[in-house]
Amino acid sequence: MQIRGFWNHRCAIARKTAATTEPFAVRFLLIGIAMVFIGLFLLAPLAAVLVQAFGDGVGVYWRSLRDSDTLAAIRLTLLTAAIAVPLNLVFGIAASWAIAKFEFLGKSLLITLIDLPFAVSPVISGMIYVLLFGLHGYLGPWLSAHNIEIIFAVPGIVLATVFVTFPFVARELIPLMQAQGTEEEEAALSLGAGGWQTFLRVTLPNIKWGVLYGVILCNARAMGEFGAVSVISGHIRGLTNTMPLHVEILYNEYNFVGAFAVASLLTVVALITLVLKSFAEWKFKQELRVS
Amino acid sequence: MCTKARVLFAFATAGLVLGSQASAEEKLILLNVSYDPTRELYQEFNAAFAQHWKVKTGKTVMIRQSHGGAGKQARAVIDGLKADVVTLALAYDINEISRRTGLIAKDWQRRLPNNSCPYTSTQVFLVRKGNPKAIRDWNDLIKPGVSVITPNPKTSGGARWIYLAAWGYALKHNQGDEAKAREFVAHLYKNVPVLDSGARGSTTTFVQRGIGDVLITWENEAFLAMEKLGRGRVEMVVPSLSILCEPPVTVVDKVVDKHGTREVATAYLQYLYTKEGQELAAKYHYRPSVKAVADKYTGKFPKIDLLMIDEVFGGWDHAQKTHFADGGTFDQIYRPGQ
């Protein structure tokens, strides 16, 4: 986005058709400030992570990633995302379908509730599960009596992650589906298509890039969540530490290479996320242009 | 492992993550919930015990660790973290688990020697190399312009020992005047720019992030910081008076009975009192409690006049109520930003 905006701007200058014609010094200053800011607050920390991770050489880097606790943290993070993202995908599509295509009582309440996880601090998101499922929580005694472990175990971590990543897909799809309206579906139905067929052949292809966009952001947050998961994890090494939690633990054990090696993996996830996100945006714009 | 439901549930969820767990049914697993600076000690001790247990019984035992500020860790056990053993920074936190949940028998502290404390420690100062602010004793910490790093007594056990040591020092130098002691401690905490939630957080703040002129911390943590992270950059200052810190250990009765791990959990804690366990404690700079080993290391640990919590503060329950409970002296004196 940034680069494309910059490029468009340059093209506009070249063609001397720019709507705004700021003096060169002002343009230079504004662009300069933006670049310095990005360099200082985004690129420098990113570089610092990699420098620290490879500080003692590539061999040490690989060895610290192959540590059994680190592998367990990676597996747990992948598992959590593999459960949370599909759940929120299904929920997100269902909710935005309902909201965009139908009128019903309590619709605005539903929209507000979907935003709830964005509004509360992640620490509170974790705490509510302790209140619900903790030994002294509302459901704790019953769970304990039936030997079901939720908090300080994998299910709790998954639940907290599902909660904080709840809005991503729905938030992406609701405005999109609202803008698209219901004409195409109505046409399909009047031509004799069934409900399911209409959804698969008409609705889904229309929103596929929006879905991808939501899924990418949802996944990034699911893998990166710290606050909510920290409250509910119990920090058991090799069992309930996700990657972000494991980074903190390694750092506190003076294992800086290990901590930054895991952090570098999260950085790679972030970079892949950005590339995929840009791709989805690009595809989406192309499709809009065609239609 | 234990009951059928638990195993099934583990298969359905955690089993996916830990393929190894499913294959080894015979494998015993213990969870040791501990306080912040014991990470290195238990890492080596766990390996030593696992080997000992294998030789003795032929069974494989795996010990999982969880670390954090002692108060926070106790809170997690109260909320349902299934610890087989707790090895915390002070007796009060274990009393609290016992009182609130009944998971631990009331007389837990009489079950192992030396009040269930296999090792002891104290609180000392760590300063920048060359001691540029010339810090020698507690009264140097209240001088204007001295920045002091210590964790939060609400969440950290070590921080509570530190608070009491400062209070005890002030009592001693003011003929037991409580009001003067309170004023002294209030002054000290005015010089604290950041309260971390546990001892290890404070060490990183001081050594790694370079904040503060003096860190008050566990003697073992100070030794470790000088040896590892801050080698050549920090030095230890031993005050004229400190407090005898007794970090106790116990089996969590209801959890081990449920998991069927009482035998191995008890042996695990008893192993701390053996020669091997005591040598490891000394290696990681804890003061051994078994005399034969302690005598060997008298030269290693500085001689400090040590206050006893029971004598000066009437035991942990009383100290907790007076100083650290909501509305206690800490809440009264600690006013950040004033």
Question: What span, in angstroms and rounded, lies between the C-alpha atoms of B320 and B322?
Answer: 6
Q: Is A253–B80 a contact, with Cβ atoms under 8 angstroms apart?
A: no
Closest CA to B33 of B329, B308, B250: B250
Please report the pLDDT score of residue A284 as a whole number.
79
- Per-residue pLDDT band for B338 (boundaries 50, 70, 90) equals low
Beta strands at B305-307 and B241-243: parallel, antiparallel or unpaired: parallel
- Per-residue pLDDT band for B243 (boundaries 50, 70, 90) equals very high
Please report the pLDDT score of residue B27 as a whole number.
81
**Residue B284, pLDDT above cutoff 50:** yes
- Per-residue pLDDT band for A7 (boundaries 50, 70, 90) equals very low
- Per-residue pLDDT band for A19 (boundaries 50, 70, 90) equals low
Please report the pLDDT score of residue A20 as a whole number.
66
The better pLDDT of the pair B47, A289 is held by B47
Q: Is A239 helix (H, G, I), strand (E, B) or coil?
A: coil
Q: What is the pTM of this model?
A: 0.82
- Per-residue pLDDT band for A34 (boundaries 50, 70, 90) equals very high
Please report the pLDDT score of residue B337 as a whole number.
61
Average pLDDT over residues A226-255: 91
- Evaluate whether B53 touches B263 at the Cβ level (below 8 Å): no
Q: Is B280 helix (H, G, I), strand (E, B) or coil?
A: helix
Out of A137, A149, A254, closest to residue B9 by CB: A149
Question: What span, in angstroms and rounded, lies between the C-alpha atoms of A69 and B14?
Answer: 14
DSSP helix, strand, coil percent of chain B (3-state; round to 5): 50, 15, 35
**Residue B40, pLDDT above cutoff 60:** yes
What letter represents residue A120's amino acid? V
Model pLDDT for residues A112-142, shown as the tens digit of each residue: 999 999 999 999 999 999 999 998 889 988 9
Q: Cβ contacts of residue B83 below 8 Å, gap of 6+?
A: B31, B32, B33, B66, B77, B252, B255
Please report the pLDDT score of residue B69 as a whole number.
84
Tell me which chain A residue has its CA closest to the CA of residue B41.
A253
H or E element that contains B288: strand B287-288
- For chain B positions 161-180, those within 8 Å of chain A (CB to CB) are none
- Evaluate whether B156 touches B199 at the Cβ level (below 8 Å): yes
**Terminal C-alpha separation, chain B:** 54
| The pair of three-digit structure tokens given for residue B5, joined into one six-digit string | 């439901």
Region for B58 from its dihedrals, namely left if φ exceeds 0, alpha if ψ lies in -120 to 50, beta otherwise: left
**Residue A15, pLDDT above cutoff 60:** no
Beta strands in chain B, from DSSP E residues, in sequence order: 28-34, 61-67, 85-87, 119-120, 123-128, 148-149, 214-218, 234-237, 241-243, 249-251, 287-288, 305-307
- Per-residue pLDDT band for A8 (boundaries 50, 70, 90) equals very low
Please report the pLDDT score of residue A147 as a whole number.
86
**Residue B54, pLDDT above cutoff 70:** yes
Please state the φ and ψ torsions of residue A130, each to the nearest 5 degrees: -65, -40
Q: How far is A133 from chain B (nearest CA, A)?
A: 9
Q: Cβ contacts of residue B200 below 8 Å, gap of 6+?
A: A252, A253, B36, B37, B39, B67, B221
Please report the pLDDT score of residue A18 as a whole number.
54
Model pLDDT for residues B172-205, shown as the tens digit of each residue: 999 999 999 999 999 999 999 989 988 989 999 9
Using the Cβ of B80 and the Cβ atoms of chain A, whether some distance falls under 8 Å is answered with yes
Q: Is B61 helix (H, G, I), strand (E, B) or coil?
A: strand
Out of B81, B100, B229, closest to residue A234 by CB: B81
Closest CA to B184 of B138, B127, B136: B138
Q: How far is B311 from chain A (nearest CA, A)?
A: 35
Model pLDDT for residues B79-95, shown as the tens digit of each residue: 999 999 999 999 999 99
Closest CA to B84 of B27, B133, B33: B33
Using the Cβ of B204 and the Cβ atoms of chain A, whether some distance falls under 8 Å is answered with yes
Model pLDDT for residues B307-333, shown as the tens digit of each residue: 999 999 999 999 999 999 999 999 999
Model pLDDT for residues A73-122, shown as the tens digit of each residue: 999 999 999 999 999 999 999 999 999 888 889 888 999 999 999 999 99
Please report the pLDDT score of residue A11 as a whole number.
45
Angle (nearest 5°) at CA B288 between B284 and B292 = 130
Model pLDDT for residues B107-118, shown as the tens digit of each residue: 999 999 999 999
Q: Could you count the other beta carbons within 10 Å of the beta carbon of residue B58?
A: 8
What letter represents residue A60's amino acid? V
**Residue A185, pLDDT above cutoff 50:** yes
- Evaluate whether A60 touches A52 at the Cβ level (below 8 Å): no
Mutation choice for B interface testing from A67, A127, A147 by most B CBs within 10 A: A147
**Residue B242, pLDDT above cutoff 50:** yes
Out of B14, B68, B81, closest to residue A154 by CB: B14
Beta strands at B85-87 and B28-34: parallel, antiparallel or unpaired: parallel
Average pLDDT value for chain A: 87
Closest CA to A164 of A248, A45, A244: A244
**Residue B20, pLDDT above cutoff 70:** no
The better pLDDT of the pair A288, B139 is held by B139
Average pLDDT over residues B35-45: 93
Torsion sign (Cα): B334, B205, B32, B21: positive
- Per-residue pLDDT band for B208 (boundaries 50, 70, 90) equals confident
Q: Is A254–B6 a contact, with Cβ atoms under 8 angstroms apart?
A: no
